Structure 1
Amino acid sequence: MFEKLARKHLDFNLFEAEFIVTERANHASELAKRALADEIDLLVAVGGDGTINEIAKELLNSTIPLAIVPEGSGNGLARYLGISTDIAQAIKKINTFKTITIDSGLINGRAFFNVAGMGFDALISDRFAENITRGPVGYLKIVLGEISKYKAQTYKLNIDGNSLERKAFMISIANSPQYGNNAYIAPGASADDGILDVCIIKPFPLIQFPVMIYHLFSRTAHQSDYVEIIKGKQITIERPEKGPIHLDGEPVELSQKLTIEVLPSSLKVVC
């Protein structure tokens, strides 16, 4: 489907394109490394935030830009960048070859570009990765099945030298404002300000869950009594034990202590 549309809408007077379909997890990273070695001029990620992460992490601080054709279940980074979820329109955007430079984040040396998280957030990402029903419907089904069973944890944070302790339902680290599907966890976040938004979601009564969802989709999460957002550049988080976090929606097991930093102006993107 994508290759057919690309052959129709991509300007082949400007580009000589090679189309490769990934075959396994981390295959996109391998292909990106090969492309870097071959000194290609542009890499295009066709997929969701997880696919973008696989490719973009290999392009950190390089001169090679990344183009995005969003085909994921949430497409958070693409939506933030104003890239159309219409495949033909996203391909036409590539023809302009106009680039900007955005920040990225690192957690224990692992890169993310949209949003990372821990707690309930990471649990759901772990379950969602195994789920055959994609998109917001599949995600919501998992949330509803797990939310009443999940217990909040106590986290020790240090944000740019300021120490605090919070009991949290989940903590999201936002480079851009939204998870995806226009669910805004950090309405004031920007991917080009050299700062990350630490979004602490405090334990809330289950009856408040519809209100929390409303805040996400109305871009008012920062107005909730159960949400605290602190901006920072150098962050450490200590949690009760090691466990899953997610990087752009993809679950990964990391240690009890998390060291987080922003990498300003580290990725070139066509948009």
Structure 2
Amino acid sequence: MRALLVVNPAATTTSARTRDVLIHALASEVKLEAVTTEYRGHAHDLARAAARSKDIDLVVALGGDGTVNEVANGLLHDGPDPERLPGLAVVPGGSTNVFARALGLPNNAVEATGALLDALREGRERTVGLGLAEPAPGTGDDGAPVRWFTFCAGLGFDAGVVGRVEQQRERGRRSTHPLYVRQVLRQFLGDPHRTRGTISLHRDGEDPVDGLVVTLVSNTAPWSYLGDKPLYPSPGASFDKGLDVLGLTSMSTVSAMRYGSQLVASTPERGPRGKHAKSLHDLSAFTLVSKVPLPFQVDGDHLGLRTGVKFTGVRRALRVIV
């Protein structure tokens, strides 16, 4: 088996020692080529070349959720074909590592490497569904890129938080959970649309859901973590189903406190609920349209402002070594 290891040296918990241990361990099982990324989008380019080469059987991503997202998008650049494309393996190296943890992998690079080696020896893999986000026709976003996402996406409030975190990281701050909490508070205080939502959700054959302030799109559960605490806005979301959405029609101070506390207390059986909460499950396709341009994110990667995004849940999109 030939494998490509894609290493993001800037990932939060990735070190040269971790990389060297992983390279040594993998090289004992596969014919390995290791490449360190040098610019944003490099992981995508490497994975796309691997998918087209016909010589690579496996692409291993060492980094955070952003690195995994780039690799997945590179593998799927020409469309999903699980039987033909290289498999994907993940070694967590970021601050949160939602996709790896959702797959049941340890949140430690060395332990995850051991689990990966066991999976390779035993031939363990699964084919997971992913989300696809593309510009909604007629909304002025026609030139925006199409992006796959592995675990979540969002238009509006949560994407604004992601954008603020990225600005702090560009200033040299580390991506920590306290940093995210601070940016949630700043986004809450500075969001002009939090009390009157501008987003509508459209599905074929259904009435639109209007007035949304928050739109959390989930491809799996949990949606994210606060430290070691998993958060379940959509407990029923699964790699084996379509997409789930939690929408909120109010983010007043009282509503924010209620739904924020419910999210922190959420479990695999129970997520946020109430008159301002709109929960939709196992959707194959839907479109979010906003009256004004709003921040947009996929897998914690801020993609700028959008006025309309079409979402599709693509089942059995990619093979993953687990």
> TM-score, length-normalised on structure 1?
0.91
Amino acid at match of 1:107: A
Between the two structures, name the one with larger relative contact order (CA 8 Å, sep ≥ 6). 1
Number of the residue aligned with 1:101: 127
User: Cα RMSD over matched residues?
Assistant: 1.9
Size of the aligned set, in residue pairs, is 269
1:59 corresponds to 2:75: yes
Match of 1:234 among 285, 297, 321: 285
Please give the alpha-carbon distance, in whole angstroms, between the structure 1 residues aligned to 2:279 and 2:87: 31
Superposed CA deviations along residues 133-153 of structure 1, whole A, max 9, x for unmatched, are 312111011111221232232
Q: Is the 8 A contact 2:259 2:272 kept in 1?
A: no
Task: Establish whether residue 214 from structure 1 lines up as the match of residue 261 from structure 2.
Answer: yes
Aligned counterparts of 1:226 and 1:76: Cα–Cα separation in 2: 27
- Alpha-carbon spacing, 1:160–1:197, altered in 2? closer, same or farther (3 Å): farther
Structure 2 counterpart of 1:4: 20
Distance in 2 (CA, whole Å) between partners of 1:159 and 1:246 is: 21
The residue number in structure 1 matching 2:208 is 164
Contact 1:242 1:253 in 2 (8 A): no
The separation in 1 between residues aligned to 2:204 and 2:219, in whole angstroms, is: 16
Partners of 2:28 and 2:299 in 1: CA distance: 34
**CA displacement 1:170-220 (0-9 Å, x = unmatched):** 101110123322222211100112x11021023133245444333223323
> Any residues of structure 2 matched to 1:117-136 within 5 Å, and which?
117-131=154-168, 132-136=173-177
- Please tell me whether residue 76 in structure 1 is matched to residue 92 in structure 2: no
Map 1:168-179 onto structure 2 (within 5 A): 168-179=212-223
Deviation of 1:254 (Å): 5.2
| Alpha-carbon distance, 1:243 to partner | 3.5
- Contact between 1:186 and 1:197, CA under 8 Å: does it hold in 2? yes
Q: 1 CA distance for matches of 2:95 and 2:178?
A: 10
Residue 296 of structure 2 aligns to a residue whose secondary structure is strand
2:128·2:318 contact (CA, 8 Å) conserved in 1? yes
What is the identity, as a one-letter code, of the residue corresponding to 1:58?
G
Is the CA contact 1:187–1:222 (under 8 Å) kept in the aligned structure 2?
A: no
Q: Secondary structure at the match of 1:84?
A: coil
Q: For residue 149 of structure 1, what is the aligned residue in structure 2?
A: 190
Mapped pair 1:246 → 2:297:
yes
Residues 11-69 of structure 1, C-alpha deviations (whole Å, 9 max, x = no match) = 53421222221111101011112222332111111112111110001223243111011
Identical-pair percentage: 27
CA drift at 1:7: 4.1
Runs of at least 5 residues in structure 1 that lack an aligned partner in the other structure: none
Q: Which structure 2 segments of 5+ residues have no match? A: 1-16, 135-145
Q: Which residue of 1 aligns with 2:46?
A: 31
CA contact (8 A) 2:50 2:86 kept: no
- Alignment check: 8 A CA contact 2:68 2:90 kept: yes
Task: Give the structure-2-normalised TM-score.
Answer: 0.78
CA contact 1:186–1:199 (8 Å) conserved in 2: yes
Which residue matches 1:201? 248
Judge conservation of contact 1:114–1:175 (CA < 8 Å) in 2: yes
SS state at 2:208 partner: strand
Report the equivalent of 2:3: none
Does structure 1 retain, via aligned residues, the 8 Å contact 2:157–2:295?
no
Q: Aligned partners of 1:80 and 1:160: how far apart in 2?
A: 30
2:240 is matched with: 192
What SS class does the counterpart of residue 29 from structure 2 fall into? coil
Moved over 6 A (4+): none
Q: What code does the residue aligned with 2:213 have? A: F
